[in-house]
Structure 1
Amino acid sequence: MTDWDIRMQTGLRIKELRAAADLSQDDLAYAIDMSRSYLAEVETGKRNISLQNLERIARGLGITLDEFFDSGYFRRGADA
């Protein structure tokens, strides 16, 4: 797996969870005090997100980092 792959999978996972929570990028970014443009770049794999920011996003989605990673999503791949 390349750095790009893990960034893309992470971004797609965030987007999936955000959509399931019925939140727009603006709504989530505002709730966690993060710029919408940064969040958009994370979701598209253009940013290498820090663990601190990933935790902020997870909390904003109402989940823990354990739940973010324990879904099986990263084991099966983003397009499975």
Structure 2
Amino acid sequence: MTMKNIKMKIARVEHDLSQEELAKRVGVSRQTIGLIELGKYNPTLSLCKAICRALDKTLDELFWEEE
């Protein structure tokens, strides 16, 4: 079962970005960002890295699942 990506959503809100604005920065649709945040889409590594750069976070901070 996939977990929601709350960490990504929090980081996006902290940067005062809408899903649409983040999507434009990383070159995907708003729906893609929404699905990632809901845990219904598994982004590629290159997309994860682009999101991390846009939100000033590391891969571990945004995408590592705590056990």
Structure 1 gap segments, 5+ residues each = none
Q: Which TM-score applies when normalising by structure 2?
A: 0.79
Aligned partner of 2:26 in structure 1 is 32
CA distance in 2, matches of 1:50, 1:33: 13
Q: Deviation of residue 48 (structure 1)?
A: 1.5
CA RMSD of aligned residues (A): 2.1
Q: Kindly tell me the number of residue pairs found equivalent between the two proteins.
A: 66
Q: Which TM-score applies when normalising by structure 1?
A: 0.68
**Aligned partner of residue 4 in structure 1, secondary structure:** coil
Deviations 1:31-77 (A, max 9, x none): 111111111100001111222211111111123325x25xxx844x7
Which structure is larger by alpha-carbon Rg, 1 or 2? Answer: 1
Structure 2 gap segments, 5+ residues each = none
